[in-house]
Amino acid sequence: MPFAGPGDASFAAGFEQDVVTSLRTVPGLYVIADANVQPYAGTELGAAEIGGLLGARGLVDASVELVDGRVRVSARLRESTTGTTLWQTEVDRPVDELRAVRTEIAERVAATMFDSTLRARVVRAEDYGAPFAAKPFQQ
């Protein structure tokens, strides 16, 4: 989802683009095009509705603010079918650490998405005849 901020909208948009660009470099992680996501910015639709319309497994949204030489970010990753928050963070760091903040957010989103995907593939013994087994990977 488009990132928002109470101040400089271009700063929030630039921060979003940097995070999205980082996520697009992760093999196996599909990032939906900005033009497809933009119409849902500021709508009253819930995560499940937006996720269903976009065909997304997860939705990332954030509030980004630059105040007195500090970057403040509140970000979360929600599972799109239920709206459940899978991961969230609050960051308040000096602006000279901006690159590290963007990298950390992208890394945590990617790690959480892969972790939730792997957990979804684990099934009970009665399905495969073993205590726990992974479902075959399907693309």
**pLDDT of the chain, 139 residues: tens digit per residue:** 445 555 666 777 787 888 888 888 888 888 887 788 888 877 888 888 888 888 888 888 888 888 899 989 888 888 888 888 888 999 999 999 988 888 888 888 888 887 765 454 444 444 444 444 444 444 4
Q: Enter the pTM of the model.
A: 0.73
Domain 9-134 CATH superfamily: TolB, N-terminal domain (3.40.50.10070)
CB atoms within 10 A of CB 43: 10
DSSP secondary structure string, 41-72? TT-S--HHHHHHHHT-SEEEEEEEEEETTEEE
Give residues with Cβ within 8 angstroms of 116, minimum separation 6: 57, 58, 79, 86
Q: Distance between CA 73 and CA 66 in Å, rounded?
A: 9
